[in-house]
Structures are given as C-alpha cells and as structure tokens.
Structure 1
Amino acid sequence: MDFKLSPDEISFARGVRAFLEEEAQHPDAHDFMDPDRDCHSQLANSPERRAFCRRMAKRGYLGMSWPKSYGGQEIPGIYEYLLNEELALRGAPLIGKGVGCIGKTIIRHGSEEMKRQFLPMILDAETEFALGYSEPGAGSDLASLKLRAEPDGDGWVLNGQKVWTTSANFAEWYWVAARTDPDAPKHKGISVFLLPMNTPGLTVRKIDTLGHHLTNEVFFDNVRVGPGALVGELNKGWTYVCEALDFERFTFYTVNPLLQKFERALEALRGRTRNGHPLSEDIGVRRAVGKLAAEIETAKMLQRRVVDSAAKGGVPAIEAAMYKVFATRLQQVVTDFVLDHLGPTGLLRKGAPGAVDGGVWEHFYQTTPLDTIGGGTSEVQKNIIARRHLGLPLA
C-alpha cells in the first residue's frame, strides 16, 4: 500500500487548512473549534456549528465522493479523509452522519423519491440526523432489537424504545432500525425507516454521561409513518445498518487527534521530575514512551488501510473495525500513562488551580471510554474481525 499523497491531494489539504485559518478568525470560532471537546466536537449541535457546516457546504466540501448525478464530485474518498483529519485537528464538526452514513446508504439503496428529498439537504448541510440502533436489550447484540414496526394501511406503526441515541436532542430526522418480521431469524427481519423527529408519539429524554457527553433515550408510542419512510427493501435493514456503521467508523475515527494527544502527552511530561531527577531520564518512562510511539505508528497504518479500501470504492468493514478497536483503546492507554506520571495534579479538573494543561487530562480520562462504545463497541469490532476476517465460527 502506497500512501504518499499526490500533488493534488497535498494542495487540497493546504486549501482546507487555509479555509480553517479563515474560520478561526470568526467571532464564534471558540464554539465550533474546540479540540478539547472530544466527542461533542464532531457534532453540529449548536447554531454556530451548523452555520460552520453550511459554510463548508458552500466550499464544496460535503459529498465530494458522491456520484455527480447526485450532486457530488466523484473524487476519491481520500479527499474526505484529508478533510476530516484537518477538521479533527481543530476540534471542528466532521462531515458527519449525513454524508458518510445516511447519504451513502441512500445512494446505494434508497428510492428515487428519498434521494431527491434528502441528498440535496445533506449536501447543503440543511439538516441533521440521529441514528436509532441501540436498545436497552440490544446494544452490542444489535440484531436482538425489539422495536416493532407493524403494517398499518399503506404505512407502519412503531412501538418500543431506543437508547444511547446521540443527536436525538437536536436532529430533524431519525434513521431507525425496527423489527418488521418477528418470525424471521433475527438478522433477517429488520428494516430501516427515516422519519421526522417531531413525529407524533416520539419522545426524547436526555441522558448525561461521562465527560459531559449528552446522549438520549427515545420512546415510540404508536408512531405512524408512511410508506415513503421505508429505506430500501423490506427486511433488508440489517445489511443497511452494517453498511452505515462501516461508513460511520471511517468518517468519525480520524487519527490526527490521537497523534496530537500523544504530542500533548510528551509536552505535559517534559520538565517534570521524580525524586529530583527528570522523568526523561527514567529508563522505565523512556521504554514506555517508545512503546507508545510504536503503537501510534501502528494506529496510523491501520487508519490508512481504511482509507485505502474506501478510496477504491469498497466498504472498509474489517479495516475500520481493526482501526477502531485499536485506536480507541490506545487513546485510553495514552491518557492513563500521562495521569500515572503527572501525580495528583493531573487529576485536577478544568479550571482548578494548579491543574496541568488546564485540567484537560482529567477530562480526557472521562471522555476516552466513550469512543470505545460509539459506532459499535470494542466487543462488536472484535466479533467482526473474528468472523469476517479470520473466519472463526460463532460461539
């Protein structure tokens, strides 16, 4: 795999950096550019962040790899990767679920009416989506979902519950997996629906989690949708869910923040002493730093395999699973390493007197576990690798 950037790709990345330099002068830049915000920095969950996304759309940065017939530019996925890496470095909203998950799935499987309705809105950054997958009894084992969609005239009535639905508190549309054939094998009786978040009978309840991350549970009480809400074919939803999750892992899990965090970790430890001696002279610390540096390089190569597969038109399911399980765990390892060597001051929160690096490492300690869950838990990723790549049987 040759991952040297072409002159055009280098020029594109420079153009993105120039755009972001301009945006950094915006009066609201402190809101839509925040590298310390972690998981929330990916979301267009405020008026300022949504306005930023619309400005990205006007620059032609959304849907670049889409077919021209649907408003895209038909350029390789490497450009979306380069865009997201630059956005992630700034802590700005990424191109997100609309372009990477929902848009590409609609292009592959949606009706012509659905394409006409949603694809222009996605390209113009005029709407936001929430993904309705997990349920109280169907998280890692997503195919066990119980949300029912029963035929009602020419439409459907949905009853049940979803949980851990990030974006449900501000999104306009809900991409929902529901069981449409309770008698079929659990992977075969699932369909996907796309419905407005303000549909009668839909109730959103907020859930606060670690690191000040906000997610939601959503209740369906006789929620009726028309026939146009069905995505693709009836009972083919498991295929669409898997594809959308694969696109999500590629879109959301950039590597630059990990590289940036490692450099920040080294900076936090420089100049610190133990028993009167610099930590940099401690053989145990030096070995640990060397091991982390090697693992950072491994993460870079795993991410580049994802990009290589996506750039060739594939759905990088196995590559994305490998990268996600490795890189999200490495985020935790780097954070733990820093806190172990900072001592008590490393545990001080943001704003506390004497906190190292503004208290960001305590914040990272809270937020890094979230990445091992979103987009499919580490256990799910290991199952994907075991089954699809290694050919191991189900337990």
Structure 2
Amino acid sequence: MDFDFDADQQAFIAEVRVFLNEVRQWPDAAEIMCPERESDSILADTPARKAFNRELAKRGYLGLSWPREYGGQERPGIYEYLLNEELSRVGAPLIGKGVGCVGQTLISHGSEKLKQEFLPKILRAEIEFALGYSEPHAGSDLAALKLKAERVDGGWRLNGQKMFTTSAHFADWYWLAARTDFEAPKHKGISLFLVPMDQPGITIHPIETMGEHVTNQVFIDDVFVGDDYLVGEVDRGWTYICEALDYERFTFYTFSPLEEKLKALKETLRNTRRDGDRVIDVPHVRRRMARLIAEVETSKMLQRRVIYAASLGRVPTVEAAMCKLYSTGLHQRLADFALDALGPEGLLHKADHAAPAAGKWEWSYRATALDTIGAGTSEIQKNIIARRELELPLTN
C-alpha cells in the first residue's frame, strides 16, 4: 500500500496552495477561510464564499473527474480529493455536492434536459443544492423515508417532511428523495426529484445546533414536480442514492483539519502558563499529547486506506466506516483534552475576550458532536464494520 502522492499529484497540491495564498490577500479572506467554523466550514453559504467557488470554477477546479463531453477534465478522482484536502485545511468551502453526488448522478442517469440545464451551472458554481434525505423517522435508516410522491397529470404531487437538511436555508434546488411506491419493499419504490427551493408549498425552518451549525426542518405541502424533473427512472432512487455516496469517497474524508487542529492545540498549550510553567510541560499533559499525536497518525493511515482502496476501483465501504468512526471520535477527544488542560478558562465562550485561543476549544467541544451523527452515525459505522469486515451475525 503506497501512501505517497506521485510527482503530478504533488505539483497539483503546490498549485492549489499558491492559489490559496493569493486568496489570503483578498479583502474578504477572513470570511472565506474559516477553519474555526468546524463542521460547517465546508459550505458556500455567504456571498464571499460563493464568489470563491466561482473563482475555483474559472480556474478549472470544478468537474476535474467529469467526462470531457460534459465540460470535465477526466482526471482521476484523487485530484478532487487533493483539492478538498487543501480547501479543508484552511476552512474554505469544498467543491461541494453539486460537483459530486448531484452532477455525477445526472451524468450517469439524468435526462438530456437535466444535463443541459444543470451541468453547466454546476461547473460555473452558479447553483447550490440541498440534499433532502433524512426525515423525522428516517435518519440512519434512510430507506424508511415516507415523504409521498403521488402521480398526477404531467408529474407528481409531493407531501411530507424532511429533517436536518443542511444548506436548505441558502440552496437553490432540492435534491429530494420521495416514496413513489408504498407497496414495494422499503429499499424499492424510492425516486429522486429536483425541486426549486422557492417552490410554493416548501417551508423551511432553520435549526441551530449546539455547535452553531444551521440545519433545517423542511415541510413539503402539495408541491408539484413535473415529469421532466424526475432523476432517472421511477422507483430507482435508492440505487442512485447509494451510487452518489460512492462518488464522495475521494472527497469527503479529508485529514488536514485534524492535523491543523493538533498544531493549534500544541500552540495553545505552549502559550498557556499555570503557576509559572507552560501547560505543555506538565508531565500528564505531555503523556496525553503523545497519545493524541499517535492517534492523529492512525487517523491519517485510516484515511489513506480509503483513498488507496478507491484508487484500485473498489468501493471502500468498510475503510470509509473505519475512517469516519475513528476520526470523528478523535476530533471530540482533542477538544475534550484541550478543555481539561486549559482548566476553567477553557470553558469561556469565543465572545469572551479572555477565552484562550479565542474560544476555539469550547466551540470545538460543542461542534464536534455533530460530526459523529452526520453522514451516518457512529453506530451505523460500527454496524458496517461488524457485518462486512468482521462478518458478525445480525441480531434482533
């Protein structure tokens, strides 16, 4: 297993870093590069961050792995991973679900109308999507979704509710999963639709999490969707959803935020004194720091296994589950240790001018809980590992 990047890949990394150094000179650079935002730093949710994505588009960084006939460059998926690794390192918005699960699914299964309407806009970073999957009773068990799509003249009538839809409060279009056949087994009878977020009958209620990340509750009341905006075939949506997750394997599991967080923690502990001594020099602090350094390296190895497996043409389901389970827990352990080491002052909110490291660690402590839930809970990842790697039997 070779974890090193080749010369072309290293040159691409250097090129991206040069570009990001240019962005640091922009007047709104501090709004674009926000690593302290934790889990929502990946979103293009402000005008400045959307403008940044349009600049990515102008420089040819969007659609790197797309076929040339649709405006892409047909480069290996590793380049999209490398790009997102550098973007996440500085807290800039990632290339996003439009290029990944939406664009790739449309290329594979969308009608010519949908390809012509959406693919150019995605490549120009002119459009934002929200993924309408989870529901009040269908989160980790996504196939249990109940949002109903009933056949009517010329299209479909949608009714139901979605929960925890990231991006719904600023997205342009809803990539919406609905049940089109209630008699079929739950993994069947699901279809995908594209719906404008400003469509009459869509009501969005933002929900702020304890980590100050905005997610959304969305109500769908008698929303009409024309046949032209059905993605692929009726009742094949579950297949498309699963395929879309595979498109994200290269880009979702970035390691650099953990690496940068470890550097920041070392710096904080070096600059914090207690009873005249640097906190980092306290023996029990040094022991725990040594363990965390080793854990960060372990997380890097697990992440590289995802990339390596995908580069061989395999779907790295187990490797991705191991990586997500371990790395999201490690983000929590880093924040927990930081608060222990900093003492009472570490609990100060970022709004308090006396907060160590501008309140980064108190915020991280609150925000990292979300990462163990989103994109499949830790319990789901354990089930995947148990069934597919350890071959343990299912229990009731």
SS of the residue 1:127 aligns to? coil
212-221 or 305-314, larger mean C-alpha shift: 305-314
Is 1:12 matched up with 2:12?
A: yes
2:230 aligned partner: 230
Matched letter for residue 130 of structure 2: A
1:365 aligned partner: 365
SS of the residue 1:211 aligns to? coil
SS of the residue 1:270 aligns to? helix
Q: Are the aligned partners of 1:249 and 1:375 in contact in 2 as well (CA < 8 Å)?
A: no
Q: TM-score under structure 1 normalisation?
A: 0.95
Deviation at 1:38, TM superposition (A): 1.7
1:332-366 Cα offsets, whole Å, 9 max, x none, are 00110111111011111113132111111111111
- Cα gap change, 1:153/1:391 in structure 2, threshold over 3 Å: closer, same or farther? farther
Deviation at 1:390, TM superposition (A): 3.4
For 1:240-389, what aligned pairs fall within 5 Å after superposition?
240-248=240-248, 250-270=250-270, 272=272, 278-389=278-389
For residues 390 and 105 of structure 1, the distance between their equivalents in structure 2, rounded to whole angstroms, comes to 31
For residues 210 and 66 of structure 2, the distance between their equivalents in structure 1, rounded to whole angstroms, comes to 36
SS of the residue 1:212 aligns to? coil
2:72 aligned partner: 72
Deviation at 1:277, TM superposition (A): 5.5
Matched letter for residue 256 of structure 2: N
297-306 or 233-242, larger mean C-alpha shift: 233-242
For residues 351 and 207 of structure 2, the distance between their equivalents in structure 1, rounded to whole angstroms, comes to 24
2:100 aligned partner: 100
Deviation at 1:107, TM superposition (A): 2.0
For residues 74 and 175 of structure 1, the distance between their equivalents in structure 2, rounded to whole angstroms, comes to 25
SS of the residue 1:204 aligns to? strand
Q: Are the aligned partners of 1:346 and 1:359 in contact in 2 as well (CA < 8 Å)?
A: yes
- Cα gap change, 1:254/1:142 in structure 2, threshold over 3 Å: closer, same or farther? same
1:243-278 Cα offsets, whole Å, 9 max, x none, are 323434643331101011011112212254566655
- Cα gap change, 1:373/1:115 in structure 2, threshold over 3 Å: closer, same or farther? same
1:125 aligned partner: 125
2:61 aligned partner: 61
Matched letter for residue 371 of structure 1: D
Q: Are the aligned partners of 2:249 and 2:310 in contact in 1 as well (CA < 8 Å)?
A: no
Give identity over the alignment, percent: 61
For residues 115 and 394 of structure 1, the distance between their equivalents in structure 2, rounded to whole angstroms, comes to 41
Matched letter for residue 336 of structure 1: D
1:156 aligned partner: 156
Unaligned runs of 5+ in 1: none
Q: Are the aligned partners of 1:250 and 1:320 in contact in 2 as well (CA < 8 Å)?
A: no
Matched letter for residue 306 of structure 2: V
1:51 aligned partner: 51
SS of the residue 1:106 aligns to? helix
Is 1:194 matched up with 2:194?
A: yes
SS of the residue 2:211 aligns to? helix
Matched letter for residue 97 of structure 1: K
1:184 aligned partner: 184
For residues 106 and 310 of structure 1, the distance between their equivalents in structure 2, rounded to whole angstroms, comes to 21
1:84 aligned partner: 84
Is 1:146 matched up with 2:143?
A: no
SS of the residue 2:178 aligns to? strand
SS of the residue 1:369 aligns to? helix
Unaligned runs of 5+ in 2: none
Aligned length: 395
Q: Are the aligned partners of 1:259 and 1:296 in contact in 2 as well (CA < 8 Å)?
A: yes
For residues 306 and 81 of structure 1, the distance between their equivalents in structure 2, rounded to whole angstroms, comes to 11
SS of the residue 1:210 aligns to? coil
- Cα gap change, 1:155/1:116 in structure 2, threshold over 3 Å: closer, same or farther? same
For residues 237 and 29 of structure 1, the distance between their equivalents in structure 2, rounded to whole angstroms, comes to 39
Q: TM-score under structure 2 normalisation?
A: 0.95
Q: Are the aligned partners of 1:129 and 1:174 in contact in 2 as well (CA < 8 Å)?
A: yes
For residues 109 and 61 of structure 1, the distance between their equivalents in structure 2, rounded to whole angstroms, comes to 23
Q: Are the aligned partners of 1:173 and 1:195 in contact in 2 as well (CA < 8 Å)?
A: yes
Q: Are the aligned partners of 2:163 and 2:216 in contact in 1 as well (CA < 8 Å)?
A: yes
For residues 71 and 207 of structure 2, the distance between their equivalents in structure 1, rounded to whole angstroms, comes to 37
- Cα gap change, 1:359/1:281 in structure 2, threshold over 3 Å: closer, same or farther? closer
130-139 or 274-283, larger mean C-alpha shift: 274-283
Matched letter for residue 311 of structure 2: A
- Cα gap change, 1:251/1:202 in structure 2, threshold over 3 Å: closer, same or farther? same
For residues 21 and 272 of structure 2, the distance between their equivalents in structure 1, rounded to whole angstroms, comes to 33
1:69-102 Cα offsets, whole Å, 9 max, x none, are 2211111111111111111111110011111221
178-187 or 304-313, larger mean C-alpha shift: 304-313
